[in-house]
Chains A and B, each alone.
Chain A
Amino acid sequence: MFGLNQKDKSTLIVVAALTLLAPFILNPFPEGSALAQFNAGYPDLMQRFVIFGIFAIGFNILFGLTGYLSFGHAAFLGVGSYSAVWMFKLVGMNVLPAITLSVIVAGLFALLIGFVSLRRSGIYFSILTLAFAQMSFNLAYSVLTPITNGETGLQLTLNDPRVLGQSATADGSIPVTNLLPGLEMRSTYVLDAGPWLFQFNLGYYLCALLLLVAFYVSIRIFRSPFGMMLRAVKSNQQRMNYTGLNTRPYTLAAFVISGMYAGLAGGLMASMDPLAGAERMQWTASGEVVLMTILGGAGTLIGPVLGAGFIKYFENIFSKINDNVLHGWFAILPDGIEDFLVFVVHPFIGKGWHLTLGILFMLVVIYLPGGLVEGGQRIGKYFKRGSDDAQSNDASTKPAE
């Protein structure tokens, strides 16, 4: 089925199950219980998980396979968002044409930037992409204001033409994004199961479906001759050249594909919430996708998805925790110790999430270059060795996946 081998098929099925059942999996705690704060099954949050998952999967096709570290991928995400919002303004509120345009525009933009940046490799490439992205960001803020609406960001108004739709709804408000007329992105079915609440949001399921498609395509790319060539580029460019292979088209194709993934993510973002701002293109945003990919495990299939989910989940949870919550947790301890613990933990929670993330990221780069996936493999190996240490340790000689 799908032209995948057994292992990849199971990976795909696991990811499919995780994303499609996310409204259940992410809301394990009954509403109103003390643990409900760890729930994450809310439409906007789940949308963010999968959208950043798509972004990271695409980034991984470039960085994970070829080793070219781009610090400018947020530019493609931003361009995707702007394109989608313009579609909503000019054409209509259907998300499919908007997303299609996002992918195309981001792909063209990536072709342009990639064509220039890929003339250099290593750190020079990183800096070139960084320079291009910062340039786009600065332009979006200044001269391109007619297109980007500068600092305010691009938004829908009641005066937009929307030739295939309506400028305003009957009650005089701005129309909302939809999949088909009447099928609104925001429409959510709420399942009340006793104390539990599960929310099934159309927008989320569109994103999830696209994530699965994106993930499937990435598996195919990883297993294809093209993917092997990309890994060969990472391993030894010289040998590629002396084998009669021009590396440039391979890296450029990878760059454009990953740019299109970013454009898809940007288009989806705008489809869920139709606005686009220049800050989406800033290099810190590019840094974020780098973090996700590395944290999850660059060059592995599932790593970027894990990394994106991990970062977005903990960003949400950590930002919600404050001193009161901490005091609640540590309440059983003696007062002195309680206060001390709260004092120690305080810098890492709430607004301190970025500090935690930075430390975590450093630890991963230092001790676990393969990210969460490598961590999981190490733990798995540890238990395997524990259970059957009679067996000879035949460490799989196949390249780690």
Chain B
Amino acid sequence: MDAILLQILNGLDKGSAYALIALGLTLIFGTLGVVNFAHGALFMIGAFCAVTVQRIFNISFETIDPSQKDFLGNPLKVKTTYLEHWFGPEMGGSIIDWSVPLAILFAIPVMVAVGFIMERGLIKHFYKRPHADQILVTFGLAIVLQEIIKYFYGANPIPTGAPEVFRGSFDFGVLIGFDPNAIIYPYWRLVYFGFAALIISSVFAFLQFTTFGMVVRAGMADRETVGLLGININKRFTIMFGIAAAVAGLAGVMYAPINSPNYHMGMDFLVLSFVVVVVGGMGSLPGAVLAGFLLGVLESFASMNEIKSILPGIDQIIIYVVAIIILLTRPRGLMGRKGVMEE
């Protein structure tokens, strides 16, 4: 029992990332009808927003402290960050410590801007082109974006720490009445899950309860009719693209402590997220979320030793196997609507 719970918990953080990326992909696909291969790159850019903020916070100046000597006997050079200098070591230190959550504030405008530029500058011109062209051009864009990041940040993963209080793990099992040490769970993963749940519910609430969201949903269901009503649906769709970019970016920001950001993480997640979208059902938002968590948890189960000993290597391919089975037996995915991407 506890082992099962542990696997479910372990699957949640990856599942959350899949769900968030797939949610954005589906929003873009459902509203604009565009298959966006550059969506993983948005996730990656988000993660690098966290890296950037951490670097900015750590900008420092050197002073010479005559009271201390280094090992050669020279006066010791001390690096002090500006933040510590301005706000005092206490306050400045904790700001630096909290750089990842604080990066959210930085990432939102950046990601929305990136989304707008992408939609207005490129994607817009591909609405009427075949899906294959959309895939190709966004694939090219994904390469460009990841190479730009590589140029500025290098090829190696950049460790980006969570705030001190969330580092380490806690005994989750004891909290819910299991034996001590049965379920040890890192704090940050719980934070990530909570964060993902918050974002997902905000997106759904936004679509459900605002007029803007209602128009967008109507547009997703039937673009022509909404267009006929004289509502400028395109402008709203552009905004949706910005929102989808922000969702992917935020997923990336908060994922930075779990997986040190590197330039190809976007592609890695993209392939899986596409699989998630297809399993959930192209164009279905709840489907994307459900499939994201489902596959995350399944993957985690498949990596249990008990299962791997029966089916070696299953953890490596479980997601693809599920996707292939679903695509062949339920072409519309778990919750897909009829007529989406069908010829």
Contact = CB atoms under 8 A, between A and B. Distances in A.
A130 B62 CA distance: 51
Given A355-B144, A358-B144, A127 B275 contact: yes
Interface string B312-343: 11001100110110011001000000000101
A126 B136 contact: no
B274 A130 contact: yes
Contacts of A69: 132, 135-136
B151 A132 contact: no
B131 interface: yes
Contact of B133 (A131, A359, A365): A365
Nearest to A113: B324
B324 A139 contact: no
A124 B316 CA distance: 21
A249 interface: no
B313 A132 contact: no
Contacts of A223: none
A122 B136 contact: no
Contacts of A352: 147, 151
A302 to B, nearest CB: 20
Contacts of A132: 320, 324
Given A69-B132, A122-B131, A362-B137, A143 B313 contact: yes
Contact of A359 (B35, B131, B144, B343): B144
Interface string A341-357: 00000010001101101
B137 A124 contact: no
Contacts of B131: 122-123
Given A120-B331, A352-B151, A357-B143, A290 B136 contact: yes
Given A131-B320, A135-B317, A124 B341 contact: yes
27 contacts: A67-B132, A120-B328, A122-B131, A122-B341, A122-B343, A123-B341, A126-B132, A127-B278, A134-B320, A135-B317, A135-B320, A139-B317, A143-B312, A287-B143, A290-B136, A347-B151, A352-B147, A352-B151, A354-B143, A358-B140, A358-B141, A358-B143, A358-B147, A361-B139, A361-B143, A362-B144, A369-B133
Interface of B: 35, 122, 125, 131-133, 135-137, 139-144, 147-148, 150-151, 267, 271, 274-275, 278, 282, 312-313, 316-317, 320-321, 323-324, 327-328, 331, 341, 343
Interface of A: 67, 69, 116, 119-124, 126-128, 130-132, 134-135, 138-139, 141-144, 237-238, 283-284, 287, 290, 294, 347, 351-352, 354-355, 357-359, 361-362, 365-366, 369
Given A131-B275, A143-B312, 7 more contacts: A120-B328, A122-B343, A123-B131, A135-B321, A238-B343, A354-B143, A359-B140
